[in-house]
Structure 1
């Protein structure tokens, strides 16, 4: 089969790019398409030497640094890819990738990290955070998002098989596109994240410091519990607000962005990993569990697919996205920590290995191609 893999854009090696890396490993002869490719030369290892076919946006002014400003042109850009010679197209979608045009003899499988959050259910939240809830600029952005929403819903008809990275995203696909989706969790490098030596007494939050991650709530909760230590690993635009939420508390340490070996060590030593975001999946939760570390998480989103409260327990949930709910969950965890073992956490993480992802994706494509082509 001739296979094409359509990615949104290539800027860095993040969660979506980990999926792309494994899709390339599954289909090493596939051609790769992306609206723009600005990954530095020294960071392109995940592409495994494969060339990338980009769109006209790559050649527009300032595209290398501000390509997201061309979001309104991206539907047009992905519709320009000529995919008529391919038997299978796999789109890695969180914005526009699934909108590619395919013919009746091409199988289109769309792996969805998330429907376009800022155009659908989280539109109002994003506009508030960007200061665009009112005014002329806000009205222009709302008009653009309305157009994107209509295009996004319409192009769902061109997808033959939807695959979601979590049950939460499958529900969002059903809501946005009125389509059912098979759930295949993304690949996690559980080989790098392993159980370490002795545990310490600190709790850990490791995340990009952006608004929806709500790291400020975790910091606020521990500022009110001075007898418990918290380590914050990560950097981002919310740094100042997160530090301010600590109110100078001596029990909270900010490490900034850390290298992977340092992140692994922190996860191995932490008493528990605290997570306050409503995430589509949550790779960091699996990485912590692979280190044998329990997770205290908001009971929404992809965390529901990862953390287990039953037997064997690997963590617990809090149901309100508030500092007081986090503090109560920490106390509940300490009172009942004996139910959770590092070995149980590690076994749970092994459900999300790279090998499992590759097997399920290749079997899915083979099965659907056989059904499509007889």
Structure 2
């Protein structure tokens, strides 16, 4: 049986790309089809030994910056790939889908033979009213453009979803969105979160230091500004790792107790998590949320907004505490009481909770699902 993997695009090595790499480890002979792969990016380096097939759009200059503007070309881009077995194609297509409507490919005459399993990180957030990484709504002309284009893209997205044989959701939160927007059922298989053994040994007896930690892609939807404002007012030490479009703004509102670390290696990130008093996340409607699980794997308790995928990974009172409202004031209430709240959380319990999301578990569940539903071993 021939299998193809398909992914939105390869630009950053984030949670969705870790899922893709785990899928490729299961089927190492499977090529990866994608809109483009940004040369020199963290994703490009992660997949440098993998056969990656880009679309014609990926050959255009500045394709990574043009794709959002030319999203109406997505149907044409995806149709340029031929997965038809009669054309030397594939028996199973596994798509890793979120932003680019990466599903429901035109299988032409082979629709009764080719099966497609869509691992859905989320239906496109920009189509269904969820906050996105970029604050595009602040410009009236962009809102007008999106109003027209997104109307037709929603219809296209729905139609493509009906062509998928089976859906896998990365969380119960996303399974609910698949049901709501596509009227399709799905099976939940959480993404893999792993810490290398070398790092586990390094952080096993690490000393906790006097700072809170947050980080990742510094984008508007993650609400890092709320975390900064809360720590500013309480004069609490906060370290922030990562980079993004909001970095300069976040630095401009930060007080003397806030430290920006920039991009860090995975090893450094896990050490920062292990040393921190707690890891803070405040994004609303998070699809799954890998960073809190990474923090727990490092032994760090989590302070999280009560919403989205966080509610599926953080055990209240055992591995973390929830913030009731997405406001600096609500977070400040938890931080004021953290001296007492944090004492009730055992770091060993955090690590045990994170083990439920291991890569081995992910691979086993994916293989079992494919064998059961696609008849492929």
Let me know the Cα RMSD of the aligned residues: 2.2
Q: Compare 233-242 and 286-295 and name the one that shifted more.
A: 233-242
Residue pair 1:78, 1:96 contacting (<8 A) in 2 also: no
For 1:287-306, list aligned pairs within 5 A. 287-306=294-313
The one of 328, 333, 349 equivalent to 1:328 is 333
The one of 273, 278, 288 equivalent to 1:272 is 278
Q: SS of the residue aligned with 2:168?
A: strand
Structure 2: gaps (5+ residues) = none
Give the ranges of 4+ consecutive aligned residues of structure 1 lying more than 6 Å apart after TM superposition: none
Aligned to 2:223: 214
Distance 1:126 1:5, change over 3 A: closer
Q: Distance in 2 between matches of 1:58 and 1:44?
A: 13
Aligned to 2:74: 74
Aligned to 2:369: 364
1:286 is aligned to 2:290? no
Using the TM superposition, give the Cα deviation of residue 262 of structure 1 relative to its aligned residue in structure 2, in angstroms.
Answer: 2.3
Residue pair 2:126, 2:132 contacting (<8 A) in 1 also: yes
| Length-normalised TM-score, structure 1 | 0.91
Aligned to 1:9: 9
Residue pair 1:57, 1:77 contacting (<8 A) in 2 also: yes
Aligned to 1:251: 257
1:28 is aligned to 2:28? yes
The one of 92, 95, 100 equivalent to 1:91 is 95
Q: Distance in 2 between matches of 1:59 and 1:41?
A: 16
Q: Distance in 2 between matches of 1:190 and 1:127?
A: 26
Using the TM superposition, give the Cα deviation of residue 45 of structure 1 relative to its aligned residue in structure 2, in angstroms.
Answer: 5.2
Using the TM superposition, give the Cα deviation of residue 44 of structure 1 relative to its aligned residue in structure 2, in angstroms.
Answer: 4.1
| Length-normalised TM-score, structure 2 | 0.90
Q: Deviations over 1:247-267 (max 9, x none)?
A: x3x332222332333222211
Residue pair 1:235, 1:257 contacting (<8 A) in 2 also: yes
Aligned to 1:105: 113
Residue pair 1:188, 1:283 contacting (<8 A) in 2 also: yes
Structure 1: gaps (5+ residues) = none
Q: Distance in 2 between matches of 1:275 and 1:42?
A: 23
Q: Deviations over 1:266-305 (max 9, x none)?
A: 1110010011112211111111101110000001111111
Q: Compare 259-268 and 37-46 and name the one that shifted more.
A: 37-46
Using the TM superposition, give the Cα deviation of residue 126 of structure 1 relative to its aligned residue in structure 2, in angstroms.
Answer: 5.2
The one of 227, 231, 235 equivalent to 2:239 is 231
Q: Distance in 2 between matches of 1:117 and 1:64?
A: 18
Q: Deviations over 1:51-98 (max 9, x none)?
A: 222222123343255343332111221123211112211010002211
Q: SS of the residue aligned with 1:69?
A: coil
Question: How many equivalent pairs are there?
Answer: 363
Q: Distance in 1 between matches of 2:251 and 2:43?
A: 30
Using the TM superposition, give the Cα deviation of residue 41 of structure 1 relative to its aligned residue in structure 2, in angstroms.
Answer: 8.6
Q: SS of the residue aligned with 1:224?
A: helix
Distance 1:302 1:332, change over 3 A: same
Q: SS of the residue aligned with 1:284?
A: helix
Q: SS of the residue aligned with 1:68?
A: coil
Q: Distance in 2 between matches of 1:318 and 1:11?
A: 32
Q: Compare 107-116 and 97-106 and name the one that shifted more.
A: 97-106
